[in-house]
A = this chain, B = another copy of it.
Amino acid sequence: MKLTDTQRAIVEFVKDDGHKSQSEIAEMLGVAKSEIRGDLALLTTLEILGARQEYGYYYQGKKNYILFAELLKSFPIENIMSMPVIVEERTSVYDAIVMMFLENVGSIYITKNGNLVGVVSRKDLLRAAIGTQDLNHTPVNVVMTRMPNIKTVEPETSVFECAKMLVESQIDGVPVIERDINEPEIIRVVGRVTKTNITNLFVRMGNDYFIEGMI
């Protein structure tokens, strides 16, 4: 896994100029703070950068390589998750199927006023499509799998934990969720992790199994 140009620029900046905050690094690169969140997470996971509260990021040293398992057990899923596709619960089954084709995804999340209430997979929709229901007048919440029978992960969950959940639960994907601190009963879907994300990472790791030394 080679570092990207952005990641190299961050390391050079921090190395030359001492400790830097996320805002300072973003400003130097001319991007939004959110855009470098994944890069900083990778660089600290690899222990190329260290991070301390109220002190910021600092250069920690050269590291020539890291074993796969170390990386995948400490690397948060938010760095490789996909965007979720979401519809409200009164959407018709037919419209959900059309949405699935348009977005080319294997599952769609169902919300009620923005709160996650269910999920439908291609399999659920195929079962509905060969049934006797009128797809245009059946709302998708009739055929969905409902909370709390849905496995979920959080942005901080490691890629290893996510992959293990997919394998052990025999499912193709899980929603990545966040709870509001003030309203913990509200579940917001912020991402989607599938076997596609895991396979992509597997190939990336196979392509370059050494993390190249920084200098």
Contacts and interface: CB of A to CB of B under 8 A. Distances in A.
A115 interface: no
Interface residues of A, number: 36
Contacts of A129: 126, 129-130
Contacts of A61: none
Contact of A163 (B100, B135, B166, B202): B202
Contacts of A73: 206
A181 interface: no
Interface residues of chain A: helix, strand, loop or mixed (majority)? helix
Contacts of A72: 202, 206
A141 to B, nearest CB: 19
Contacts of A166: 199
Interface string A187-203: 00000001110111111
A123 B164 CA distance: 26
A200 B130 contact: no
B167 A205 contact: no
Interface string A98-132: 00110000000000000000000011011101100
A83 B123 CA distance: 20
A167 B69 contact: no
A25 interface: no
Contacts of A123: 101, 122
Given A129-B130, A209-B69, A203 B160 contact: yes
17 contacts: A68-B69, A68-B209, A94-B130, A97-B130, A100-B126, A101-B127, A122-B122, A129-B129, A129-B130, A160-B203, A163-B199, A163-B206, A164-B203, A167-B196, A195-B196, A198-B202, A202-B202
Interface of A: 67-70, 72-73, 94, 97, 100-101, 122-123, 125-127, 129-130, 135, 160, 163-164, 166-167, 172, 194-196, 198-203, 205-206, 209
